[in-house]
Amino acid sequence: MLDERKLRVLHAIINSYISSAEPIGSRTISKKYDLGVSSATIRNEMSDLEDLGYLNKPYTSAGRVPSDKAYRLYVDMLLKDSKTLIDMRKKQEIKKTLLKEAVEIDSLIENSTKILSKLTNYTALAIAPQFERSTLKHIQLIPIDEYEILVVIVSDSGIVKNTIFRIDNQIPDDQLNIISNFLNGKLKGLTIEEIGNEIDTVVFKEMYEYKNIIESIIPVINQSLEEVENVEVFADGVTNIFNFPEYSDVTKAKAFLSFIEDKNLVVDIMLKNTLDDFEITIGGENSIDEIKDCSLITATYKLDGNTIGKIGVIGPTRMDYFKVINAVNLLAMNLNEIMSKFFSK
């Protein structure tokens, strides 16, 4: 943990850099913020913060810029005080605007991206509601040799996945049939989410001796039930990225646009973690190269307690996190309320 003075200096640097996009020097911090210490002290603290990995020094400047590690600390501290992140004065205004599009869910979500982009001045993304989820139709484990097994997964939508994986210890054919029959009996007709619950609560308990092999099969089952090609993505404010000096670089701008235009990549990054209702990934935390200079803030929206989609904002790591977290939270809250009121069973 950083001491109080280092935290105040770091927060001042982050806030200044978010506003200016220019490397920050000790004199700037000394003039703009009343930290009660001299410019020389601030300079020493900045040097320590750089050594600790919270600040980077661009080659062409004497100033410093925050690292991904700094933004992560900053965001985590913001989230601890969640009450400050909900601007209830805007909530009713947003809800009123959304209700104009509450006749159809797709138009409601599309309008949400427009509102979110306007509120934040960044690019807003949303995954359209997914009501029809593929379910497991059949699973079969077939021995190839002593230490390799072919797993065949068939979904109700006709998608077939064949994957070979290795095992540490040989399993007799009759035991593989027992595992196959057991999994079919327990998992047939279930969605990804339902399979996860069944595995945790029933399968591992009753088939614990085969826990390792079952754990190897689950990702194959999940992959076979995901139909990315049928997922619709909404995006608004895509050209907002050109308002930020970081993206005056043509190569970076092209990489960002390439990501936005690739629906499969957007779906992959938006849905990579469906367990958390609210998620923030910063810079290098993103798994996709095209957006390793970006931060992505997403929230789920639900119907009858089930997650049916995600909405979020993507922009430079130098984004106004306070504003974006607040906006995404507000949109998600309103969407969930409207869904519950107008579309619930």
State yes or no: pLDDT of 301 exceeds 70. yes
- Classify residue 276 as exposed, middle or buried by CB count within 10 Å of its CB (0-12, 13-18, 19+): exposed
Q: Please write the tens of the pLDDT for every residue from 234-264.
A: 999 999 998 999 898 888 899 999 999 998 8
Res. 204 pLDDT band, cuts 50 70 90: confident
User: For the residues 148-158, what does the mean pLDDT come to?
Assistant: 73
**pLDDT at res. 228:** 46
- Tell me the backbone φ, ψ of residue 11, rounded to 5 degrees: -60, -40
- Amino acid sitting at position 344: S
- For residues 138 and 188, the answer to whether their CB atoms sit within 8 Å is yes
Per-residue pLDDT reduced to its tens digit, 26-47: 999 999 999 999 999 999 999 9
The rounded mean pLDDT for the chain is 85
Is 158's pLDDT higher than 80? no
pLDDT given at position 274? 59
Res. 101: pLDDT tops 70: no
Tell me what pLDDT residue 200 has.
Answer: 75
pLDDT score of 83: 55
Q: Distance between CA 183 and CA 317 in Å, rounded?
A: 44
pTM above 0.85, yes or no: no
The lowest-confidence range among 156-165, 200-209, 270-279 is 156-165
Sequence-ordered alpha helix ranges (H) in 152-304: 173-187, 192-198, 204-206, 211-225, 250-261, 263-270
Distance, in Å, from the CA atom of 24 to the CA atom of 18, rounded to the nearest integer, reads 10
The fraction of the chain above a pLDDT of 90, given in percent, is 43
DSSP code per residue over 176-214: HHHHHHHHHHHHTT--HHHHHHHIIIIIHHHTGGGHHHH
pLDDT at 175: 85
